[in-house]
Amino acid sequence: MNNTFLTPRLSEILDLAKEQGRVLVDDLAAHFDVTPQTIRRDLNELCEKRFLTRIHGGALIPSGIENMEYEARRKIAADEKRAIGQAAARLIPDKASLFVNIGTTTEAVSDALLDHEGLLVITNNINVANRMRVYPTLEVIIAGGVVRGSDGGVVGEAAVDFIRQFKVDYAVIGVSSIDQDGALCDFDFREVKVAQAIIANARHVILVSDSTKFERSAPVRIGHLSQVHTFITDRCAAPSMRALCKEAGVQLIETGV
């Protein structure tokens, strides 16, 4: 993306979006000391130039075929992810066994589980394993396979075969996007295979996803919302998504952050 011909304010907005993953109208208005209407016009211009993608109340770096940088994804909806992680942790009792897959929201769940006792945690997420391994009351098993440099995810057939050896109480899964028809999608077909094995080998599947995932798109299908038992998000505004949850018997938990 060439931003040579952008005004200084537009260039700075774009830089903030690249750093944070997303920008919000109210925050930008306060930052630049201008009206929200001015910022909306700026965001519309950046979206028309395909630098950003509009979301409710702000804009995102476009997802396209390639996923955005992992550190930028960590910063998107950080407070929402923290609340989602805490809500998920409340569902998981001490001495349970669980899968945790790749993702910034699943990492927030792992943070919230650190005060649990006697958990057996099986993960293909190096970040989760590294965070939890130092707690003596938690047993951590990490899948073998190809380590993806961008985010520390372990992917590939070896990881799939490893996951299939277990049958656990809970699975905590994250996705890159949720379509309006309930399709759960991601970017890397190798990661999708691992996620599908995790879903198939857990007694209770917990999907954790902040509401920005309703506004993104990804090309590879993991499965469908109806395959999970509990869906935890900060906000589910779409009536169609609520209807899908009700029809499939999926428990919908909104943290309201």
- Residue 220 and residue 115 share a domain: yes
Dig out the tokens for 167 from the structure: 């049958």
- Residue 236 and residue 150 share a domain: yes
- Residue 83 and residue 25 share a domain: no
Question: What is the pTM (predicted TM-score) of this model?
Answer: 0.75
Domain end, chosen from 62, 87, 104, is at: 62
Could you tell me if residue 72 is inside a domain?
Answer: no
CA distance 174 to 108: 11
- CATH number for the domain spanning 244: value is 3.40.50.1360
Which of 60-69, 132-141, 211-220 is predicted with the least confidence, judged by mean pLDDT? 60-69
Is it the case that residue 75 has pLDDT exceeding 80? no
Domain count, the chain: 2
CA distance 214 to 25: 19
- Residue 89 and residue 53 share a domain: no
Could you tell me if residue 3 is inside a domain?
Answer: no
What Cα–Cα distance (Å) separates residue 237 from each residue in 7, 11, 150, 199, 246? 35, 31, 31, 25, 14
- Residue 51 and residue 119 share a domain: no
- Residue 83 and residue 197 share a domain: yes
- CATH number for the domain spanning 57: value is 1.10.10.10
| pLDDT of the residue at 223 | 95
Range of the domain at 17: 8-62
- Residue 86 and residue 171 share a domain: yes
Sheet strand arrangement including 119-123: 138-142, 119-123, 97-100, 168-173, 202-208, 230-233, 251-254
Could you tell me if residue 81 is inside a domain?
Answer: yes
Is it the case that residue 173 has pLDDT exceeding 90? yes
Could you tell me if residue 70 is inside a domain?
Answer: no
Q: Tell me the β-bridge partners of 231.
A: 207, 252
| pLDDT of the residue at 65 | 39
CA distance 105 to 62: 19
- Residue 15 and residue 84 share a domain: no
Q: Residues 3-6: contacts with CB within 8 Å, 24+ apart?
A: 3/51, 6/46
Could you tell me if residue 67 is inside a domain?
Answer: no
Mean pLDDT of 218-240: 94
Average per-residue pLDDT for the chain:
89
CA distance 10 to 31: 13
- Residue 233 and residue 184 share a domain: yes
Is it the case that residue 44 has pLDDT exceeding 50? yes
Is it the case that residue 29 has pLDDT exceeding 90? yes
- Residue 218 and residue 98 share a domain: yes
179 falls in which pLDDT band (50, 70, 90)?
Answer: very high
- Residue 119 and residue 236 share a domain: yes
- Residue 36 and residue 117 share a domain: no
What Cα–Cα distance (Å) separates residue 80 from each residue in 5, 33, 61, 159? 35, 26, 18, 29
67 falls in which pLDDT band (50, 70, 90)?
Answer: very low
